[in-house]
Structure 1
Amino acid sequence: MLATAESCTGGLIAGACTDLAGSSQWFERGFVTYSNAAKTELLGVPAALIDAHGAVSEPVARAMAEGAVRHARAQVSVAVTGVAGPSGGSADKPVGTVWFGWCVDGAAHTEVVRFAGDRAAVRAATVRHALARLAARLR
């Protein structure tokens, strides 16, 4: 079973999954944790971790992926946290920066990607990348 933990995509990954007929056989739930408080309350991401590294970071993406599995009836998760724009970027984390986390059978993996384009393009690319990498990990 799959659980999603989404920030910058606001549920688009869960939506892409549940667009597929039969997804009730493998999709368990989605967490939309747009705010830092939601990441802490729903996924158990320590507030101190967010304070230390920022919401858009490797440790937070990893904690989101692990938290999604821990707080759901799922063995697999995908998590995303990023800067979709048009504002909110910085020198270290420009617009288009997205951290991904996947947890498959207890093993967590992370990756950062910088996507070009406007907000809609960054969000769409994030959904495609998250699901493509998940599929590769499940093979």
Structure 2
Amino acid sequence: MTPHISPAAGVVVHLRRARDLMDARFAEALDLDGMAASAGFSRYHFAREFRAAFGETPRAYLTRRRIERAKDLLANVNLTVTEVCMLVGFTSLGSFSSRFTDLVGCPPSVYRLRMVQRGGPPAVPGCFVLAWGRPGAAIAEKPGTRPPS
């Protein structure tokens, strides 16, 4: 006998698929059509159901995830605010700073300064962070080395 899944629970399963997509690929250019397609809904039905299930629009959720990641980078990595902006999926420094300020309560540069003043962990050099995006390639490019198996 197969377990019965209520229609509402079935919808949430599909919405979680889209939310997982946003969590995994937040730095990419995700649009409402792509997110809705990952859930198997039309864009308008998806937007309504997502808000009903999670209490915020898909765009607000994606923006919040990007800002959460930006906070982590600003507190722990030696990158410029512009580099952080681009790494988390924003294409405009102005919109990034504005949304960051709205959600966090201070501009990104002030947030970073506060984290440094609190004695946070030593900053990871930006070159390491950028290399993390392509871990095998950095090793394979060095002459006389073999990529890890």
TM category (shorter chain) comes to: under 0.3
Q: TM-score, normalised by structure 1?
A: 0.24
Q: TM-score, normalised by structure 2?
A: 0.23
Name which one, 1 or 2, has greater alpha-carbon Rg: 2
- Higher helix proportion: 2
- Higher RCO (CA-CA < 8 Å; seq separation 6+): 1
